Amino acid sequence: MPGHPCFDEEAHDRVGRVHLAVAPRCNIQCRFCERKVCAHLAAQHPGWARKVLTPDEAVALVRELAREHPGERFVVGVAGPGEPLANDETFAALVAVGSEFPHLALCLSTNGLLLEEELPRLLALGVGSLTVTINAADAAVGERVYAWVRYRGRTYRGREAAELLLERQVAGIRAALASGVALKANAVLVPGANDEHLPELARLLGGLGVRLMNVMPLIPSGTMRDYRAPTCEEVRRVRAECERWLPQFRRCQHCRADVVAMPAHHRAVMPASVGTTAEGDWRPVV
């Protein structure tokens, strides 16, 4: 998707992005995931946020950024700290932002479990780009990565959970691509769990019609806190192998669920009006 900083590497340093942390609850448990909401968090880490915003606070944040950057286009997305599609607040925030700022691009990151059934709502809201995190193309590998999946009132574990999640992810990706929405696939590279398998995942995704993949190195945490992070050489090797099937995005920076990155400032910021700590606590991300 040209012009989107998480899809177009040339746009990464030129186009701003803001993640609205309005979605605290999750419907799956990745073994490496450790969601945190704390005012003192400073490092970049997916699933982390300083605070969960209400939809009204989310709109106030976008409004303040629009005032500070008049005439500048930036991308507004929801990426957590939980699963956006499992939280009604996600839809309320997107409705409000889209109504007040129809010129801003809307995007969303999801684990894909509910993507097929919620896709019509997303399209109606004008969401034009999606990122689906999918870590395995085989349930035997997936059960190493996922602890449980909660779907339609039932909790699944082990191989059954991994099979259900993969089935729903594939169905959601197919439906999203058929709708014409831009879609990128994220995959977390976990040494000893799915590292040798990711090229097979790339082959599956390419066969579905996905046109961009982002291999993200593991940040050891959760019940995988004792796993090691992949080396730079391992990440390069896996990306090169996956690139036989899919182009690779290489500018990912493990953004948090509340990141605000505006190129004009060359740093991540959050206006004080939505309850951040002192200025300067944020690590530069652009």
Read off the pLDDT of residues 145-173 as tens digits, 9 standing for 90 and up: 999 999 999 999 999 999 999 999 999 99
Q: What share of the chain is helix, strand, coil (3-state, %, to 5)?
A: 35, 20, 45
Amino acid at 204: L
188: enclosing H helix or E strand: strand 182-189
Number of residues in the chain = 286
Name the fold adopted by 9-274.
TIM Barrel (3.20.20)
Q: What percent of the chain has pLDDT over 70?
A: 82
Contact 175, 110 (CB under 8 A): no
What is the model's pTM? 0.86
Q: Which of 99, 163, 160 is nearest to 126 (CA)?
A: 99
Residue 267 has a pLDDT of 41
Q: At 6, is the pLDDT very low, low, confident or very high (cuts 50, 70, 90)?
A: low
Mean pLDDT of the chain: 86
Q: At 28, is the pLDDT very low, low, confident or very high (cuts 50, 70, 90)?
A: very high
Residue 66 has a pLDDT of 87
Check pLDDT > 70 for residue 36.
no
pLDDT digits (tens, 9 = 90+) for 240-263: 999 999 999 886 666 778 878 777
Contact 187, 134 (CB under 8 A): yes
Residue 283 has a pLDDT of 27
